[in-house]
């Protein structure tokens, strides 16, 4: 916040926008919690038609999961670089994170298309519906994250570069990105492995 | 001489809005007070519409075998009445109080995220308009074996599946047409608005407290806002996902809640009430907070058991997530679950009872000053206790099974939501009227309003108890003359019109007092909390300098001392203190930096209804318009600094 007055800020000592991000993420847990619960409820039930186990390709999804997890690493590297005030490296790692996220998304689009061709469609049965809504909702989060990351990268291209206390902050986009990655670990386990 | 600070307007692609008066100043404002006032007026407008819908329902039921409305119209009217009152009237009126008072009560200049605050308001407005556009664009259709299309009429082209949208009745098969899509997507948009404001309030309370404002020194209204914000943040995601499923079922052929494809209609009930029960506390806790402010002020005693009231509020909020299935005792849930939810329902009455006894303890032995706000607060306690007691009877499963879907239930929740929430809200409207407008309301009209509303309210909802026990079914469109329900139904309908009359008196008082009322001093009630230390009406900058808080009820302690017997004695210096505060508040010495107005919250919010229409009518062009508005809004937002570089100019008064 700008100076010029002695108004006290941040009674908790946590930066206001970061605190907002934490509150936001806590509600995201409820969003995904509801989706996962629905998925688990319907998973054990009988349903007609084709099942996920008939169409999925675990090695392929494992690779794209690995790609997404690696993007968390590059995100940390970007944050680290910015802490050392190395603008160029920050931009490189940001772009790398965005690209890894985009690769994951491309994998998901490919996977969905494959499933569709094999007859596993949105309204095939209750299982396919829960599958698409759950993983699609996560995919939407990754997409928004990629847009954020590219936006950050674009701002970093401007003269002043990025800073950890400026408006559109790398730190809380990193929080969001890690959260989306962690959710995927849960989803991959619940949807594909169990 | 006052220092006026002007933003440098040329730093962004768009010219920064700078109107301080008139239409554009309201569209672009990020000031929590203006947003609060807009919330209040818009919500009151919807309250009137919801009230008209109720009157239409009561005209239909005033006589046996009446045909004022068709069945289709009746369904639409009760659905819209419930949806409007919950999402477009009581919630936003509470939001008006949160917005206006929260920063004042914790001694802040504004909320944590001023533009986000404007965004939640505008999303709410567009959500409400979207929902009501169903009367223009929506169709209710005619389900197979149901009523005929020509019976639907103009009034019937609204959502008609109940505010709870039970499945499969609200599914495409039994509710064809687009009306229920308007409902599902409209609520989705309204939910986003409440979620955004919940983040904002949580962060504001945690991070924006002034010096010395420790958590346990916060006014109870602030505490209840805090509890409500948590309830919103953790219950709305559940309904959001459930509404996604409804929209998918209706639009894309999935079967989440339809047994035909392996789905489960009871899952909807679980998800809905897992949101819906916390929602009940979202509606009532703000009124608890308001009443906890009014009672000590007008009893001239500190609030009895402040920590107990605070913790009871959070106890209610927490247990509120564990009682949802008591709405579903008539559904397919196991006896063990029924017993468990019956017990948890009894348990939640304990913290509520704690609050009631603390309020009674506050009044006990106090010097009661029976002004209108106090009357409403006392009315609130009485009516809420009646509603609470009939509520506890629902925890007994066999009795509840008998009462489910009868007018007994209608009586119960109107006693807690009208006799509780609305009485509390009216009390608050009178209590803070001088602070907001700088004028006093008319006391005589206020008292007349209270008594007509009290009489009308009890005539309307009291007889519903025995109508329900006699077996009048909820949502019934007609009843036969032989049932002998006619007499009390007529009384109920007369009561409804008396309530309408009391609302007219309230409006007359409001309009008259705002223009011609006496000028209000800045502390008309000899109040206790720090929002009364600033001039009335509140200056744009709220506090001329950050107040320092040394105790609970800080303002009271500044004015009063205790003698040996613990009685309050006014300090000799109290009047000097008041004069000093008033002067300081009107002429701040330091430079004050306020967040600048912005177009982008409005633009961003205006994109959402287009996306809603795009889903209903599957039109790419509408989706593109929506996405474009969202992109312009968020891009402009992200590149626009909250506060511009400032240059100060001095101006002679």
CB atoms within 10 A of CB B401: 12
Rounded distance, CA B314 to CA B339, Å? 24
> Which residue in the list B132, B183, B245, B281 is annotated as catalytic?
B281
Residue B333, sorted as left (phi over 0), alpha (psi -120 to 50) or beta, turns out to be beta
Rounded distance, CA B606 to CA B613, Å? 12
Please report which helix (H) or strand (E) contains residue B416, including its range: helix B407-416
Residue B646 has pLDDT above 50, yes or no: no
Residue B533: name the closest of B519, B515, B517, B521 by CA.
B521
What mean pLDDT do residues B320-337 have?
92
pLDDT score for B322: 93
Rounded distance, CA B253 to CA A134, Å? 16
> Chain B 594-653, CB below 8 Å of chain A: which residues?
638, 641-643, 646
B474 noted as active-site residue? yes
- Using pLDDT thresholds of 50, 70 and 90, give the confidence band for residue B262: confident
**Coil, strand, or helix at residue B7?**
strand
Domain ranges of chain B: 1-30+596-653, 33-213
- Using pLDDT thresholds of 50, 70 and 90, give the confidence band for residue B148: confident
Residue B645: name the closest of B576, B588, B593, B604 by CA.
B593
Give the gap in angstroms from C-alpha A163 to the nearest C-alpha of chain B: 14
- Least confidently predicted of A159-168, B415-424, B521-530: A159-168
Q: Looking at the complex, does the CB of residue A160 fall below 8 Å from at least one CB of chain B?
A: no
Peptide bond into B265 cis (omega under 30): no
Model pLDDT for residues A39-55, shown as the tens digit of each residue? 999 887 877 778 888 88
What mean pLDDT do residues B452-479 have?
94
B355 noted as active-site residue? yes
- Cα angle for residues B589, B595, B596 (degrees, 5° grid): 115
pLDDT score for B6: 47
pLDDT score for A50: 83
CB atoms within 10 A of CB A88: 10
Rounded distance, CA B379 to CA B457, Å? 11
pLDDT score for A146: 95
Yes or no, beta carbons of B256 and A129 under 8 Å apart: yes
- Using pLDDT thresholds of 50, 70 and 90, give the confidence band for residue B7: very low
- Cα angle for residues B449, B279, B355 (degrees, 5° grid): 65
Q: Which chain A residues touch B248 with a CB distance below 8 Å?
A: 122, 129, 133
pLDDT score for A14: 82
B163 noted as active-site residue? yes
**pLDDT, mean over chain B:** 91
Residue A32: name the closest of A146, A187, A185, A175 by CA.
A187
Rounded distance, CA B314 to CA B218, Å? 14
Residue B4 has pLDDT above 60, yes or no: no
List b or e across A151-162, with b for residues whose CB sees 16 or more CB atoms inside 10 angstroms.
bbbebbeeeebb
Residue B452 token pair: 């007509």
pLDDT score for B649: 41
> Which residue in the list B16, B209, B250, B327 is annotated as catalytic?
B327
The partner residues of A181 in beta bridges, in order of sequence, read none
Q: Which chain A residues touch B261 with a CB distance below 8 Å?
A: 47, 123, 125-126, 129
List b or e across B474-497, with b for residues whose CB sees 16 or more CB atoms inside 10 angstroms.
bebbebeeeeebbebbbbbbebbb
- Using pLDDT thresholds of 50, 70 and 90, give the confidence band for residue B18: low
Rounded distance, CA A37 to CA A43, Å? 10
Residue B159: name the closest of B652, B616, B643, B602 by CA.
B616
pLDDT score for A9: 65
CA atoms within 13 A on the CB side of B489: 27
More confident residue, B99 or A161: B99
More confident residue, B505 or A44: B505
Residue B333 has pLDDT above 50, yes or no: yes
B647 noted as active-site residue? no
- Using pLDDT thresholds of 50, 70 and 90, give the confidence band for residue A179: very high
B573 noted as active-site residue? no
More confident residue, B602 or B1: B602
Burial-class residue B322 by CB neighbours within 10 Å (0-12, 13-18, 19+): middle
pLDDT score for B522: 87
Q: Looking at the complex, does the CB of residue B260 fall below 8 Å from at least one CB of chain A?
A: no
> Which of B199, B241, B248 is closest, CB to CB, to A24?
B199
pLDDT score for A64: 94
Q: Quick one: what percent of chain B has pLDDT higher than 70?
A: 95
Residue B640 has pLDDT above 70, yes or no: yes
What is the residue-wise DSSP string for A30-43?
Answer: HHHHHHHHHHHHHH
Please check whether residue A71 is in contact with residue A95, taking contact to mean a CB–CB distance below 8 angstroms: no
Please check whether residue B87 is in contact with residue B56, taking contact to mean a CB–CB distance below 8 angstroms: no
What mean pLDDT do residues B110-124 have?
94
- Using pLDDT thresholds of 50, 70 and 90, give the confidence band for residue B651: very low
> Which residue in the list B39, B74, B132, B163 is annotated as catalytic?
B163
More confident residue, B502 or A193: B502
pLDDT score for B14: 56
B281 noted as active-site residue? yes
Give the gap in angstroms from C-alpha B429 to the nearest C-alpha of chain A: 29
Please check whether residue B461 is in contact with residue B415, taking contact to mean a CB–CB distance below 8 angstroms: yes
List b or e across B73-101, with b for residues whose CB sees 16 or more CB atoms inside 10 angstroms.
bbbbbbbbbbbbbbbbbbbbbbbbbbbbb
- Using pLDDT thresholds of 50, 70 and 90, give the confidence band for residue B163: very high
Please check whether residue B271 is in contact with residue B239, taking contact to mean a CB–CB distance below 8 angstroms: yes
Distances from the Cα of B379 to the Cαs of B306, B322, B357, B391, B418, in angstroms?
21, 29, 15, 18, 11
pLDDT score for B445: 96
The angle, 0 to 180 degrees and rounded to 10, between the axes of the packed helices A87-117 and A58-83 is 160
Residue B113: name the closest of A21, A82, A77 by CA.
A21
**Coil, strand, or helix at residue B568?**
strand
More confident residue, B369 or B2: B369
pLDDT score for A49: 79
Residue B305 has pLDDT above 70, yes or no: yes
Q: Which domains does chain A have, with CATH numbers?
A: 16-193 (1.20.120.80)
- Using pLDDT thresholds of 50, 70 and 90, give the confidence band for residue B644: low
> Which residue in the list B16, B34, B270, B326 is annotated as catalytic?
B326
B193 noted as active-site residue? yes
pLDDT score for B12: 47
Residue B616 has pLDDT above 70, yes or no: yes
pLDDT score for B643: 63
Q: Are strands B646-651 and B2-7 parallel, antiparallel or unpaired?
A: antiparallel
Q: pTM, whole model, 2 decimals? A: 0.93
Model pLDDT for residues B195-216, shown as the tens digit of each residue? 999 999 999 999 999 988 999 9
Residue B380 token pair: 């609130």
Residue A5 has pLDDT above 70, yes or no: no
- Least confidently predicted of A38-47, A156-165, B514-523: A156-165
- Least confidently predicted of A46-60, B39-53, B233-247: A46-60
Residue A7 has pLDDT above 80, yes or no: no
């Amino acid at each position: 916040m700008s100076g010029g007055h002695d108004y006290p800020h941040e009674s908790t000592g946590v930066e206001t926008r970061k605190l907002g991000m934490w509150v936001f993420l806590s509600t995201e847990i409820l969003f995904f919690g509801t989706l996962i619960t629905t998925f688990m409820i319907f998973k054990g039930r009988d349903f007609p038609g084709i099942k996920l186990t008939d169409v999925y390709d675990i090695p392929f999804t494992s690779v794209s999961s690995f790609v997404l997890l690696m993007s968390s690493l590059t995100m940390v590297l970007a944050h680290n670089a910015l802490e050392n005030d190395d603008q160029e490296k920050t931009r490189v790692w940001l772009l790398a994170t965005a690209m890894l996220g985009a690769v994951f998304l491309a994998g998901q689009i490919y996977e969905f298309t494959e499933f569709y061709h094999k007859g596993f469609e949105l309204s095939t049965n209750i299982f396919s519906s829960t599958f698409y809504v759950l993983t699609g909702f996560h995919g939407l989060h990754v997409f928004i994250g990629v847009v954020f990351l590219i936006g950050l990268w674009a701002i970093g291209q401007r003269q002043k570069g990025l800073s950890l206390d400026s408006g559109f902050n790398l730190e809380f986009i990193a929080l969001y990105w890690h959260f989306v990655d962690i959710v995927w670990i849960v989803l991959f386990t619940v949807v594909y492995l169990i | 001489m006052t220092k006026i600070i002007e933003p440098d307007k040329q730093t962004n692609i768009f010219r920064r809005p700078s109107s301080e008066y008139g239409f554009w100043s309201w569209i672009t404002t990020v000031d929590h007070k203006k947003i609060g006032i807009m919330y209040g007026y818009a919500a009151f407008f919807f309250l009137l519409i919801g009230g008209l819908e109720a009157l239409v329902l009561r005209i239909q039921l005033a006589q046996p075998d009446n045909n004022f409305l068709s069945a289709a119209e009746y369904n639409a009217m009760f659905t819209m009445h419930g949806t409007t009152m919950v999402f477009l009237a009581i919630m936003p009126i509470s939001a008006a109080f949160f917005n206006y008072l929260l920063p004042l009560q914790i001694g802040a200049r504004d909320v944590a995220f001023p533009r986000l605050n404007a965004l939640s308001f505008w999303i709410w407005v567009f959500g409400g308009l979207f929902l009501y556009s169903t009367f223009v664009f929506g169709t209710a259709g005619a389900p197979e074996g149901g009523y005929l299309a020509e019976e639907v009429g103009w009034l019937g082209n609204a959502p008609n599946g109940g505010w709870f949208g039970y499945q499969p009745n609200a599914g495409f098969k039994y509710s064809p047409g687009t009306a229920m899509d308007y409902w599902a997507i409209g609520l989705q948009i309204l939910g986003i608005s409440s979620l955004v404001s919940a983040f904002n309030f949580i962060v504001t309370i945690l991070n924006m407290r002034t010096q010395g404002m420790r958590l346990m020194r916060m006014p109870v209204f602030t505490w209840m806002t805090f509890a409500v914000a948590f309830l919103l943040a953790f219950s709305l995601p559940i309904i959001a996902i459930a509404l996604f499923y409804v929209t998918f079922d209706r639009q894309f052929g999935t079967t989440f809640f339809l047994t035909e494809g392996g789905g489960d209609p009871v899952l909807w009930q679980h998800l809905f009430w897992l949101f819906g029960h916390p929602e009940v506390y979202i509606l009532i806790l703000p009124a608890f907070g308001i009443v906890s402010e009014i009672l000590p002020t007008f009893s001239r005693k500190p609030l009895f058991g402040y920590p107990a009231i605070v913790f009871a509020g959070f106890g209610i909020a927490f247990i509120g997530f564990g009682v949802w299935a008591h709405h579903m005792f008539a559904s397919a849930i196991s006896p063990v679950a029924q017993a468990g939810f019956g017990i948890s329902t009894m348990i939640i009455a304990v913290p509520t009872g704690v609050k009631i006894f603390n309020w009674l303890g506050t009044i006990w032995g106090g010097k009661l000053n029976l002004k209108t706000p106090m009357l409403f607060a006392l009315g609130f306690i009485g009516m809420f206790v009646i509603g609470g007691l009939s509520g506890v009877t629902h925890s007994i499963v066999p009795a509840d099974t008998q009462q489910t879907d009868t007018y007994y239930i209608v009586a119960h929740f109107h006693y807690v939501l009208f006799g509780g929430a609305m009485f509390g809200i009216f009390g608050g409207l009178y209590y803070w009227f001088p602070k907001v407008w700088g004028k006093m309301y008319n006391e005589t009209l206020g008292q007349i309003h209270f008594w007509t509303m009290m009489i009308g309210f009890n005539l309307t909802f009291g007889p519903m108890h025995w109508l329900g026990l006699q077996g009048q079914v909820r949502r019934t469109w007609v009843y036969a003359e032989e049932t002998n329900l006619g007499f009390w139904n007529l009384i109920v309908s007369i009561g409804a019109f008396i309530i309408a009359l009391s609302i007219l008196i309230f409006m007359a008082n409001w309009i008259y007092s705002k223009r011609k009322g006496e000028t209000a001093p800045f502390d008309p009630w000899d109040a206790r909390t720090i929002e009364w230390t600033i001039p009335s009406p509140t200056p744009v900058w709220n506090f001329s300098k950050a107040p320092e808080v040394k105790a609970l009820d800080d303002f009271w302690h500044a004015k009063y001392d205790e003698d040996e017997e613990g009685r309050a004695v006014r300090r000799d210096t109290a009047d000097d203190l008041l004069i000093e505060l008033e002067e300081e508040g009107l002429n701040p010495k330091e430079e004050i930096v306020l967040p600048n107005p912005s177009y982008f919250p409005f633009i961003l919010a205006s994109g959402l209804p287009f996306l809603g229409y795009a889903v209903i009518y599957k039109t790419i062009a509408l989706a593109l318009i929506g996405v474009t508005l969202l992109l312009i809004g968020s891009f402009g937002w992200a590149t626009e600094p909250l506060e511009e570089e400032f240059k100060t100019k001095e101006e002679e008064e």
